[in-house]
Structure 1
Protein backbone atom coordinates (compact mmCIF):
# COMPACT_ATOMS: atom_id res chain seq x y z
CA UNK A 1 0.00 0.00 0.00
CA UNK A 2 2.87 2.30 0.77
CA UNK A 3 4.19 1.69 -2.71
CA UNK A 4 0.83 2.55 -4.26
CA UNK A 5 0.61 5.76 -2.30
CA UNK A 6 4.15 6.69 -3.32
CA UNK A 7 3.39 5.93 -6.97
CA UNK A 8 0.18 7.95 -6.75
CA UNK A 9 1.98 10.94 -5.26
CA UNK A 10 4.78 10.78 -7.86
CA UNK A 11 2.18 10.58 -10.67
CA UNK A 12 0.29 13.50 -9.17
CA UNK A 13 3.48 15.60 -8.96
CA UNK A 14 4.41 14.63 -12.51
CA UNK A 15 0.96 15.59 -13.89
CA UNK A 16 0.93 18.85 -11.96
CA UNK A 17 4.32 19.84 -13.39
CA UNK A 18 3.13 19.40 -16.99
CA UNK A 19 1.65 22.61 -18.32
CA UNK A 20 1.70 24.67 -21.52
CA UNK A 21 5.11 26.20 -22.28
CA UNK A 22 5.28 29.93 -21.75
CA UNK A 23 6.66 32.22 -24.43
CA UNK A 24 9.92 33.69 -23.23
CA UNK A 25 10.21 37.41 -23.83
CA UNK A 26 13.49 39.28 -24.18
CA UNK A 27 14.66 41.02 -21.05
CA UNK A 28 14.67 44.37 -22.85
CA UNK A 29 12.29 44.64 -25.76
CA UNK A 30 12.50 47.44 -28.30
CA UNK A 31 11.55 47.53 -31.96
CA UNK A 32 14.43 47.98 -34.37
CA UNK A 33 13.91 51.14 -36.37
CA UNK A 34 17.44 51.19 -37.76
CA UNK A 35 16.44 50.76 -41.39
CA UNK A 36 13.59 53.25 -41.17
CA UNK A 37 15.79 55.70 -39.27
CA UNK A 38 18.50 55.65 -41.93
CA UNK A 39 16.24 56.04 -44.96
CA UNK A 40 15.21 59.66 -44.33
CA UNK A 41 18.76 60.98 -43.75
CA UNK A 42 19.99 59.16 -46.86
CA UNK A 43 17.17 60.65 -48.91
CA UNK A 44 18.21 64.10 -47.69
CA UNK A 45 21.86 63.46 -48.53
CA UNK A 46 20.93 62.21 -52.01
CA UNK A 47 18.68 65.23 -52.56
CA UNK A 48 21.48 67.63 -51.55
CA UNK A 49 23.94 65.83 -53.82
CA UNK A 50 21.53 65.92 -56.72
CA UNK A 51 21.08 69.69 -56.29
CA UNK A 52 24.86 70.19 -56.24
CA UNK A 53 25.22 68.12 -59.42
CA UNK A 54 22.42 70.05 -61.14
CA UNK A 55 24.15 73.32 -60.16
CA UNK A 56 27.43 72.00 -61.56
CA UNK A 57 25.73 71.11 -64.85
CA UNK A 58 24.09 74.56 -65.05
CA UNK A 59 27.51 76.22 -64.59
CA UNK A 60 28.84 74.08 -67.46
CA UNK A 61 26.16 75.53 -69.77
CA UNK A 62 28.02 74.93 -73.04
CA UNK A 63 28.02 71.14 -72.51
CA UNK A 64 25.20 68.69 -73.07
CA UNK A 65 24.88 66.11 -70.30
CA UNK A 66 22.92 62.91 -70.61
CA UNK A 67 21.36 61.13 -67.65
CA UNK A 68 22.08 57.45 -67.23
CA UNK A 69 19.43 55.08 -65.91
CA UNK A 70 22.17 53.97 -63.49
CA UNK A 71 22.10 57.29 -61.61
CA UNK A 72 24.95 59.33 -63.06
CA UNK A 73 25.28 62.09 -65.66
CA UNK A 74 27.75 62.03 -68.54
CA UNK A 75 29.06 64.11 -71.41
CA UNK A 76 31.04 63.00 -74.46
CA UNK A 77 34.31 64.90 -74.73
CA UNK A 78 35.40 62.75 -77.67
CA UNK A 79 32.79 60.57 -79.35
CA UNK A 80 33.75 57.85 -81.82
CA UNK A 81 31.08 57.68 -84.52
CA UNK A 82 32.52 54.78 -86.48
CA UNK A 83 31.21 51.33 -85.70
CA UNK A 84 33.36 49.86 -83.01
CA UNK A 85 32.99 47.32 -80.24
CA UNK A 86 32.22 48.23 -76.66
CA UNK A 87 33.78 46.16 -73.86
CA UNK A 88 31.85 43.11 -72.73
CA UNK A 89 32.05 40.98 -69.61
CA UNK A 90 35.55 39.53 -69.25
CA UNK A 91 37.19 41.92 -71.75
CA UNK A 92 40.12 44.04 -70.62
CA UNK A 93 39.41 47.76 -71.00
CA UNK A 94 42.68 49.66 -70.94
CA UNK A 95 41.85 53.15 -69.75
CA UNK A 96 43.16 56.35 -68.30
CA UNK A 97 41.07 58.39 -65.92
CA UNK A 98 41.17 61.14 -63.37
CA UNK A 99 38.91 62.10 -60.49
CA UNK A 100 37.82 65.66 -59.69
CA UNK A 101 35.45 67.27 -57.22
CA UNK A 102 32.42 69.35 -58.23
CA UNK A 103 34.64 72.47 -58.24
CA UNK A 104 36.80 70.89 -60.98
CA UNK A 105 39.69 70.49 -58.53
CA UNK A 106 41.76 67.40 -59.23
CA UNK A 107 41.55 64.79 -56.48
CA UNK A 108 43.50 62.07 -58.34
CA UNK A 109 45.31 62.97 -61.57
CA UNK A 110 45.78 60.70 -64.60
CA UNK A 111 49.47 60.56 -63.77
CA UNK A 112 48.77 59.56 -60.19
CA UNK A 113 46.30 56.83 -61.21
CA UNK A 114 48.23 55.62 -64.25
CA UNK A 115 46.79 53.41 -66.97
CA UNK A 116 44.30 50.90 -65.59
CA UNK A 117 43.55 47.52 -67.10
CA UNK A 118 40.00 46.92 -65.96
CA UNK A 119 38.57 43.42 -66.40
CA UNK A 120 34.94 44.25 -67.23
CA UNK A 121 32.44 42.96 -64.66
CA UNK A 122 35.14 40.78 -63.11
CA UNK A 123 36.74 43.23 -60.69
CA UNK A 124 35.71 45.91 -58.26
CA UNK A 125 35.80 49.48 -59.52
CA UNK A 126 33.79 52.69 -59.08
CA UNK A 127 30.19 51.42 -59.60
CA UNK A 128 29.11 54.15 -62.07
CA UNK A 129 32.26 53.62 -64.13
CA UNK A 130 31.70 49.87 -64.17
CA UNK A 131 28.44 50.60 -66.03
CA UNK A 132 29.70 53.55 -68.08
CA UNK A 133 32.78 51.80 -69.46
CA UNK A 134 30.56 49.15 -71.05
CA UNK A 135 29.02 51.85 -73.26
CA UNK A 136 32.33 53.31 -74.45
CA UNK A 137 34.29 52.62 -77.62
CA UNK A 138 38.03 52.60 -78.12
CA UNK A 139 39.27 56.21 -78.34
CA UNK A 140 36.25 57.77 -76.63
CA UNK A 141 36.52 60.15 -73.70
CA UNK A 142 33.56 60.72 -71.41
CA UNK A 143 33.13 62.99 -68.41
CA UNK A 144 31.06 61.25 -65.75
CA UNK A 145 29.37 63.23 -62.96
CA UNK A 146 28.76 60.68 -60.23
CA UNK A 147 26.78 60.98 -56.99
CA UNK A 148 28.41 59.39 -53.95
CA UNK A 149 26.07 56.37 -53.89
CA UNK A 150 27.49 55.37 -57.30
CA UNK A 151 31.05 56.32 -56.37
CA UNK A 152 32.61 55.83 -52.94
CA UNK A 153 29.43 56.09 -50.84
CA UNK A 154 29.12 56.89 -47.17
CA UNK A 155 32.71 55.93 -46.37
CA UNK A 156 34.64 57.76 -49.08
CA UNK A 157 37.94 56.23 -50.13
CA UNK A 158 39.55 56.69 -46.69
CA UNK A 159 42.06 59.04 -48.29
CA UNK A 160 41.22 62.08 -50.45
CA UNK A 161 37.51 61.50 -51.14
CA UNK A 162 35.23 62.30 -48.24
CA UNK A 163 32.01 60.72 -47.11
CA UNK A 164 28.98 61.28 -49.35
CA UNK A 165 31.10 63.17 -51.88
CA UNK A 166 29.99 63.39 -55.50
CA UNK A 167 32.83 63.15 -57.99
CA UNK A 168 33.66 63.79 -61.62
CA UNK A 169 35.68 61.25 -63.54
CA UNK A 170 37.06 61.80 -67.02
CA UNK A 171 37.68 58.44 -68.66
CA UNK A 172 39.41 57.60 -71.96
CA UNK A 173 39.33 54.08 -73.38
CA UNK A 174 42.79 53.44 -74.81
CA UNK A 175 42.24 49.88 -75.95
CA UNK A 176 39.86 46.96 -75.59
CA UNK A 177 41.30 43.45 -75.41
CA UNK A 178 38.54 41.00 -76.12
CA UNK A 179 38.15 37.98 -73.91
CA UNK A 180 38.66 34.92 -76.16
CA UNK A 181 35.78 33.18 -74.31
CA UNK A 182 33.36 35.85 -75.67
CA UNK A 183 33.97 34.67 -79.26
CA UNK A 184 32.30 31.29 -78.73
Structure 2
Protein backbone atom coordinates (compact mmCIF):
# COMPACT_ATOMS: atom_id res chain seq x y z
CA UNK A 1 0.00 0.00 0.00
CA UNK A 2 2.86 2.31 0.85
CA UNK A 3 4.41 1.65 -2.57
CA UNK A 4 1.10 2.39 -4.27
CA UNK A 5 0.78 5.75 -2.51
CA UNK A 6 4.35 6.60 -3.42
CA UNK A 7 3.75 5.65 -7.05
CA UNK A 8 0.56 7.69 -7.18
CA UNK A 9 2.31 10.70 -5.63
CA UNK A 10 5.19 10.56 -8.14
CA UNK A 11 2.74 10.32 -11.10
CA UNK A 12 0.85 13.36 -9.80
CA UNK A 13 4.08 15.32 -9.37
CA UNK A 14 5.23 14.53 -12.90
CA UNK A 15 1.84 15.43 -14.39
CA UNK A 16 1.63 18.70 -12.49
CA UNK A 17 5.06 19.86 -13.71
CA UNK A 18 3.93 19.88 -17.31
CA UNK A 19 4.13 23.35 -18.87
CA UNK A 20 0.89 24.91 -20.14
CA UNK A 21 0.09 24.49 -23.80
CA UNK A 22 -1.23 27.29 -25.95
CA UNK A 23 -4.81 26.83 -27.03
CA UNK A 24 -5.85 27.43 -30.59
CA UNK A 25 -8.50 30.10 -31.08
CA UNK A 26 -12.00 28.85 -31.71
CA UNK A 27 -12.54 31.26 -34.58
CA UNK A 28 -10.13 33.27 -36.62
CA UNK A 29 -11.14 36.84 -37.40
CA UNK A 30 -9.79 38.74 -40.30
CA UNK A 31 -9.61 42.51 -40.51
CA UNK A 32 -12.55 42.52 -42.91
CA UNK A 33 -14.93 44.34 -40.53
CA UNK A 34 -12.45 47.16 -39.99
CA UNK A 35 -11.68 47.38 -43.70
CA UNK A 36 -15.40 47.49 -44.55
CA UNK A 37 -15.99 50.15 -41.90
CA UNK A 38 -13.13 52.26 -43.24
CA UNK A 39 -14.50 51.91 -46.77
CA UNK A 40 -17.98 53.00 -45.62
CA UNK A 41 -16.46 56.01 -43.85
CA UNK A 42 -14.54 57.01 -46.98
CA UNK A 43 -17.71 56.83 -49.09
CA UNK A 44 -19.68 58.82 -46.52
CA UNK A 45 -16.94 61.44 -46.35
CA UNK A 46 -16.84 61.73 -50.16
CA UNK A 47 -20.64 62.14 -50.32
CA UNK A 48 -20.65 64.82 -47.63
CA UNK A 49 -17.71 66.57 -49.31
CA UNK A 50 -19.72 66.82 -52.57
CA UNK A 51 -22.75 68.21 -50.74
CA UNK A 52 -20.63 70.85 -49.01
CA UNK A 53 -18.84 71.73 -52.25
CA UNK A 54 -22.25 72.27 -53.88
CA UNK A 55 -23.26 74.66 -51.08
CA UNK A 56 -20.02 76.60 -51.57
CA UNK A 57 -20.40 76.61 -55.37
CA UNK A 58 -24.01 77.84 -55.13
CA UNK A 59 -22.95 80.80 -52.96
CA UNK A 60 -20.15 82.45 -54.97
CA UNK A 61 -20.54 85.78 -53.17
CA UNK A 62 -19.54 84.21 -49.83
CA UNK A 63 -15.85 83.68 -49.06
CA UNK A 64 -15.65 80.24 -47.46
CA UNK A 65 -12.52 79.29 -45.55
CA UNK A 66 -11.38 75.68 -45.19
CA UNK A 67 -10.09 75.05 -41.68
CA UNK A 68 -7.11 72.85 -40.91
CA UNK A 69 -9.49 70.72 -38.83
CA UNK A 70 -11.66 69.64 -41.76
CA UNK A 71 -14.65 72.00 -41.75
CA UNK A 72 -15.57 75.20 -43.61
CA UNK A 73 -16.68 78.58 -42.35
CA UNK A 74 -17.35 82.17 -43.30
CA UNK A 75 -17.60 85.38 -41.33
CA UNK A 76 -21.01 87.01 -40.95
CA UNK A 77 -19.42 89.67 -38.73
CA UNK A 78 -15.65 89.89 -38.45
CA UNK A 79 -13.72 91.87 -35.82
CA UNK A 80 -10.44 93.11 -37.26
CA UNK A 81 -8.81 94.91 -34.35
CA UNK A 82 -8.82 92.38 -31.52
CA UNK A 83 -6.55 89.36 -31.23
CA UNK A 84 -8.31 87.90 -28.21
CA UNK A 85 -8.97 84.22 -28.93
CA UNK A 86 -10.19 81.73 -26.32
CA UNK A 87 -7.53 79.48 -24.83
CA UNK A 88 -7.63 76.30 -22.76
CA UNK A 89 -9.63 76.86 -19.56
CA UNK A 90 -11.18 80.19 -20.64
CA UNK A 91 -14.92 80.53 -20.18
CA UNK A 92 -16.80 81.55 -23.31
CA UNK A 93 -20.39 82.69 -23.63
CA UNK A 94 -21.88 82.13 -27.07
CA UNK A 95 -25.13 81.83 -28.97
CA UNK A 96 -25.71 79.36 -31.77
CA UNK A 97 -28.28 77.74 -33.98
CA UNK A 98 -28.00 74.44 -35.78
CA UNK A 99 -29.48 73.34 -39.11
CA UNK A 100 -28.90 70.55 -41.60
CA UNK A 101 -27.30 71.15 -45.01
CA UNK A 102 -30.72 71.80 -46.57
CA UNK A 103 -31.18 74.70 -44.15
CA UNK A 104 -33.86 73.08 -41.99
CA UNK A 105 -33.44 74.34 -38.43
CA UNK A 106 -32.71 71.61 -35.89
CA UNK A 107 -32.03 73.77 -32.83
CA UNK A 108 -33.05 77.42 -32.71
CA UNK A 109 -31.03 80.19 -31.17
CA UNK A 110 -29.53 78.85 -27.93
CA UNK A 111 -27.12 80.39 -25.43
CA UNK A 112 -24.34 78.42 -23.82
CA UNK A 113 -21.48 79.00 -21.42
CA UNK A 114 -18.56 76.67 -22.01
CA UNK A 115 -15.13 76.20 -20.41
CA UNK A 116 -12.72 75.65 -23.30
CA UNK A 117 -11.59 72.03 -23.62
CA UNK A 118 -12.80 71.12 -20.12
CA UNK A 119 -16.44 70.35 -20.90
CA UNK A 120 -18.28 68.26 -23.47
CA UNK A 121 -18.96 69.92 -26.80
CA UNK A 122 -18.92 68.35 -30.23
CA UNK A 123 -15.53 68.47 -31.94
CA UNK A 124 -16.27 70.92 -34.74
CA UNK A 125 -17.85 73.55 -32.51
CA UNK A 126 -15.08 73.23 -29.93
CA UNK A 127 -12.46 73.80 -32.67
CA UNK A 128 -14.54 76.54 -34.29
CA UNK A 129 -14.78 78.57 -31.08
CA UNK A 130 -10.99 78.70 -30.97
CA UNK A 131 -11.07 80.68 -34.25
CA UNK A 132 -13.40 83.35 -32.90
CA UNK A 133 -12.98 86.71 -31.19
CA UNK A 134 -15.60 88.38 -28.99
CA UNK A 135 -18.56 89.82 -30.93
CA UNK A 136 -17.76 87.84 -34.07
CA UNK A 137 -20.44 85.83 -35.84
CA UNK A 138 -19.33 82.90 -37.98
CA UNK A 139 -21.26 80.27 -39.92
CA UNK A 140 -19.61 76.84 -39.82
CA UNK A 141 -20.29 73.85 -42.06
CA UNK A 142 -19.33 70.66 -40.26
CA UNK A 143 -19.12 67.24 -41.93
CA UNK A 144 -20.72 64.56 -39.75
CA UNK A 145 -17.41 63.35 -38.29
CA UNK A 146 -16.82 66.87 -36.91
CA UNK A 147 -20.43 67.11 -35.72
CA UNK A 148 -22.09 64.28 -33.81
CA UNK A 149 -20.82 61.47 -36.06
CA UNK A 150 -22.19 57.98 -35.92
CA UNK A 151 -24.06 58.40 -32.64
CA UNK A 152 -25.97 61.63 -33.20
CA UNK A 153 -27.02 63.62 -30.16
CA UNK A 154 -29.66 61.15 -28.91
CA UNK A 155 -32.30 63.81 -29.53
CA UNK A 156 -32.88 65.66 -32.81
CA UNK A 157 -29.64 64.95 -34.68
CA UNK A 158 -29.42 61.47 -36.16
CA UNK A 159 -26.58 59.31 -37.38
CA UNK A 160 -23.97 60.86 -39.72
CA UNK A 161 -25.66 64.25 -40.22
CA UNK A 162 -23.48 67.14 -41.45
CA UNK A 163 -24.45 70.45 -39.83
CA UNK A 164 -24.48 74.19 -40.41
CA UNK A 165 -23.99 76.20 -37.22
CA UNK A 166 -24.19 79.96 -36.95
CA UNK A 167 -22.27 81.02 -33.84
CA UNK A 168 -21.92 84.39 -32.12
CA UNK A 169 -19.17 84.62 -29.51
CA UNK A 170 -20.42 87.08 -26.90
CA UNK A 171 -17.55 87.09 -24.43
CA UNK A 172 -14.37 85.42 -23.23
CA UNK A 173 -13.48 85.32 -19.54
CA UNK A 174 -9.78 84.53 -19.30
CA UNK A 175 -8.64 81.77 -16.97
CA UNK A 176 -6.12 83.23 -14.51
CA UNK A 177 -4.52 79.88 -13.54
Match of 1:124 in 2: 120
Give the superposition deviation at 1:32.
4.4
Q: Which moved more, 1:133-142 or 1:29-38?
A: 29-38
Unaligned runs of 5+ in 1: none
CA distance in 2, matches of 1:174, 1:166: 25
> Does 2:166 match 1:167?
no
TM-score, normalising length from structure 1? Answer: 0.84
Q: 2:28 aligns with which of 24, 27, 30?
A: 30
Map of 2:71 onto structure 1: 72
Does the residue aligned with 1:41 lie in a helix, a strand or coil? Answer: helix
Q: Does 2:145 match 1:149?
A: yes
Alignment of 1:139 with 2:153, yes or no, is: no
Q: Does 1:106 align with 2:105?
A: yes
1:21 Cα shift? 4.3
Gap regions ≥5 residues in structure 2: none
How far apart are the structure 1 equivalents of 2:20 and 2:158?
Answer: 54
* TM-score when normalising by structure 2: 0.87
SS at 1:109 equivalent = strand
Aligned to 2:91: 92
Q: 1:94 to 1:10 in 2, by over 3 A?
A: closer
Tell me how far apart the structure 2 counterparts of residues 147 and 121 of structure 1 sit (CA, whole Å).
20
Which secondary structure does the structure 2 equivalent of 1:154 belong to?
coil
1:70-122 per-position Cα deviation (integer Å, ceiling 9, x unaligned): 11001011110012311111111111110011112211110xx2x21111111
Write the deviation string for residues 119-175 of structure 1: whole angstroms up to 9, x where unpaired: 111111121111111121111111100001010101211222121110000001111
Q: How many residues get paired?
A: 175
Separation of aligned partners in 2, 1:129 and 1:137: 14
Name the CA shift for 1:71/1:8 in 2 (closer, same or farther; >3 Å).
same
